[in-house]
Structure 1
Amino acid sequence: MVQSQLTQDLPSGDELPFSDGLPVDNELHILVPNLLSFILGFLWSERLDWFFGINMGIYYATGVNPRVPIVSDAFLSFGVERLKASGLRNSYVVWEEKGIVPSFVLEVVSKTPGGEYDEKMVKYAQLGALYYLIYNPTFWQRDRREPFEVYRLIEGEYQRQLGEPFWMPELGLGIGRGVGTHQGLQREWLYWYDEQGNRLESPEDRATRLQEILERYRQQFGDLPQ
């Protein structure tokens, strides 16, 4: 009854701003999450029980003010509707998602420090996100950190985890860095991995593999029949 009353007193998603209104200052903030999203969309095309948000406000009632969101570069939730009955989400409102908080959140560090190692870490702990990844490929020396840091929420506090790719059993996914091509750019990206440490195929990976198969076929049998 108390929980029901609390939910009734909270604003609806339609009443809340869609984001914090702050622009990203690094293209990686868009490209890195998009690649992770594309891989999941390809891998879980038949599943409807997950949601991957990018640069989207997360509203939660366990922080200081439920009307002030925390905006992550990306997050992943399970047990929620892939698509809302009313259409696409403008924001992620925990009390309208059966109380389900994201299991995984990602922050890509930018030129302007955004509190990834302190303020946001506290907020994500209040939110209750199980895993928190800070990806800092460009400014890690400035910040005196590592380029890839994974944290797990243990008794209300984040503790640094070791290993890469890092396997997250509750998610059925691992995550780590790898060199590949995305939108024509060959560089280091974040990829999902399986439990054996094999990188999960991206749409570009699949296209390249199929092209190689086609080329081997042509070399052996000639051009495909018209």
Structure 2
Amino acid sequence: MENSIALPLLPTAAELPDSDDRPVDNELQNLVPNLLLAILSAIWNDRQDWFFGVDMGIYYLPTAPRKAIVPDGFLSLGVERRRQPSGRLSYVLWEENWTPPILVVEVVSQTYGGEYDIKLSKYLDLGVLYYAIYNPDYWQRDRHAPFEVYQRFDDEFVLQSQKNFWISELQLAIGVATGIYKGWEREWLFWFDGAGDRFPSPDERIAQAQQRTEQAEQALQDLRNRLKQRGIDLDSL
């Protein structure tokens, strides 16, 4: 009879905390990843094979199953977009067919959180392929660029870009641009297409739709006026 080693009984998401319960110390740590999620939800609306988590715990160590890392944002491919009925409580690798995030996004805050060393090492252990760090306010303090993207090669992250960076697996680029989100015009992280054009924020999509409506109404009014000049009144037909 062969000897076997029993695997530990791993906890489910319902048995694990969904975050580290540490509040963010600036708005951008929440707003930046939520904007990326909102844009993806529009451009990938018909796709069901992805998940973007915001301030959600990732559990990935079977040897320490209750220890999590909590990125500001992360994107996974090849997983269920939505888990019914209430969605994910956290992202547990052994419940996701051991699928790690392809991309992690961190927004550096006033209190340094180890984005360039401790977290970088942990995301390597997790199996992340791309790691984006947005540091608009403290980049000089940390001696880094305001925006950096690292790509995994073997067992290390290598700095690839300090500008917009194309991620072939997503057929999207991620980068910095000025736009409007939640009524706030400033620099944000955006997704870009293959031509280098950025996708609009929800605010901008609404404004574009309103503009198209106004243009259509104006075109209809112009048509009415031209017809009236010819003695045709649409309202009387």
TM-score calculated relative to the size of structure 1: 0.90
Consecutive unaligned residues in structure 1, runs of 5 or more: none
Aligned match of 2:50: 50
Q: CA deviation at 1:206?
A: 1.6
User: What is residue 33 of structure 2 aligned with on the other side?
Assistant: 33
Determine the structure 1 residue equivalent to 2:123.
124
* 1:37-83 per-position Cα deviation (integer Å, ceiling 9, x unaligned): 11111111221111000000000027x73311000000000111111
How many Å separate the matches in 2 of 1:195 and 1:5? Answer: 49
- Tell which structure's C-alpha radius of gyration is larger: 2
Secondary structure of the residue that 2:81 maps to in structure 1? coil
Segment drifting more, 95-104 vs 157-166: 157-166
Counterpart Cα distance in 1 of 2:27 and 2:124:
27
Q: How many residues align?
A: 221
Partner amino acid for 2:105?
Answer: L
Cα-to-partner distance string for 1:196-215 (whole Å, 9 max, x where unaligned): 21112322222222222233
Determine if contact 1:77/1:100 at 8 Å carries over to the other structure. Answer: yes
Show CA shifts across 1:176-214 (max 9, x none): 111111111000010001122111232222222222223
Q: Residue 18 of structure 1 aligns to which amino acid in structure 2?
A: D
Once the two structures are superposed, residues 104-144 of structure 1 have per-residue CA deviations (whole angstroms, 9 ceiling, x without a partner) of 00000000000000000000000001000000011111111
| Aligned position for 1:68 | 67
Q: 2:165 aligns to what?
A: 166
Q: Distance in 1 between matches of 2:10 and 2:204?
A: 44
User: What is residue 141 of structure 2 aligned with on the other side?
Assistant: 142
Paired residue type of 2:14: D
Q: Taking structure 1 as reference, are residues 143 and 45 closer, same or farther at Cα in structure 2, changes over 3 Å only? A: same
Identity %: 51
Is 1:181 equivalent to 2:180 in the alignment? yes
2:204 maps to 1:191: no
- Check conservation: 1:18, 1:91, Cα contact below 8 A: yes
> Deviation at 1:221?
3.7
- Which residue of 1 is the match for residue 205 of structure 2? 206
Q: Distance in 1 between matches of 2:103 and 2:116?
A: 16
Distance 1:211 1:5 in 2: 61
Q: Does the 8 Å contact 1:177/1:191 carry over to 2?
A: yes
Is structure 2 residue 113 aligned with structure 1 residue 114?
Answer: yes
Secondary structure class of the residue paired with 1:176? strand
Question: In the aligned structure 2, how far is the partner of 1:152 from the partner of 1:217?
Answer: 46
Runs of at least 4 residues off by over 6 Å: 223-226
Amino acid across the alignment from 1:49: D
Tell me by how many angstroms 1:217 deviates: 3.5
Write the distance in 2 (CA, Å) between the matches of 1:16 and 1:213.
47
Aligned to 1:23: 23
Q: 1:38 to 1:5 in 2, by over 3 A?
A: farther
Shift, 1:163, TM fit: 5.7
1:103 aligns with 102
